[in-house]
Amino acid sequence: MQQPTDPTTGTLAGISAGTFVDCDHPAVVAFAGLHATGTTDAERAVALFYAVRDGFRYDPYRLDLSPHGMKASTVLATGHGWCVTKAALLAAVCRAAGIPARLGFADVRNHLSTERMRQSMGTDIFIWHGYTEIWLDGTWRKATPAFNVELCERFGLLPLEFNGRDDSLYHPFDRAGQRHMEYIADRGPFDDVPLARILADLKSFYPAWLGQAKKMLDGDFLADVARETS
């Protein structure tokens, strides 16, 4: 069976435990053992995608950018995450199930963020948006597990599905035909979360945001979504 390799080093890619994609953590291993159902890698990856997508609440108000907060195992412990940490969790449980996986990043324009987020961040552009790339049938397949189905229903979004054969990236429009997500820059794949680079870019791109982060922590993301979409 063909295995993915890092073009720079020639070593196997998307296999080993990382600092943040901690696929060797006991909770990650247990989760993969419970949810990686199916007879093929594709079937098992699809099962893991839905377990991560809907089993953990998307909550961008509760960003913990510390090394501990960015670990896949921390999402398991807290029950919530955001695009980067949920992507790290999907990569971790895939690796724990023996399926190579890595992280992909892009800058996106999100047309449906909340007013609290827009005021705190000063823009509707989200840099370092994270998704997962899973090695299936000899190629990398993109899968985005960030938005749980409950959130999609409240926001009027089309939930992202994943079949193991096609890339699963955000829809450009929502159910009503309004703009949803626009990919504006591709930052490429990474074997682990490049936290130092992400933090440096966040501080540069959102100069006022980190200082106002408590305003988001004091808010209720689902309540803001419900109020703004009612």
More confident position, 193 or 14: 193
Specify the 3-state DSSP secondary structure of 143. strand
**Is 109 domain-assigned?**
yes
The answer as to whether 210 is a domain residue is yes
Residue range 165-182: average pLDDT?
A: 73
Which residue carries 């023996």 as its tokens? Answer: 98
Give tens-digit pLDDT for 94-121: 999 999 999 999 999 875 677 777 777 7
Asked if residue 156 is part of any domain, the answer here is yes
Mean pLDDT for all residues in the chain: 87
Q: Do the domain assignments include residue 64?
A: yes
For residue 75, pLDDT over 90 is answered with yes
Does residue 19 lie within any of the structural domains?
no
Question: What is the b/e burial string over 91-114, where b = at least 16 CB atoms within 10 angstroms of the residue's CB?
Answer: bbbbbbbebbbbbbbbbbbbebbb
Stretch (H or E) spanning 186 = strand 181-190
Within a domain: 74: yes
- Buried b / exposed e over 133-144, threshold 16 CB at 10 Å, is bbbbeeebbbbb
Q: How far is CA 25 from CA 10, 34, 88, 187, 196, in A?
A: 26, 14, 13, 27, 22
How many domains does the chain divide into? 1
Residue 75: inside a domain:
yes
Is the pLDDT confidence value at 215 over 60? no
Is residue 11 domain-resident? no
Q: In the structure encoding, which two tokens stand for residue 199, read together?
A: 């933090």
CATH number at residue 124: 3.10.620
Give the pLDDT confidence of 121-159 residue by residue, as tens digits: 778 889 999 999 999 999 999 999 998 998 888 777 778
Full-model pTM: 0.90
Average pLDDT over residues 67-90: 97
- The residue range of the domain holding 202 is 26-229
Question: Is 189 in a helix, a strand, or coil?
Answer: strand
Question: What pLDDT, on a 0 to 100 scale, did the predictor assign at position 199?
Answer: 93
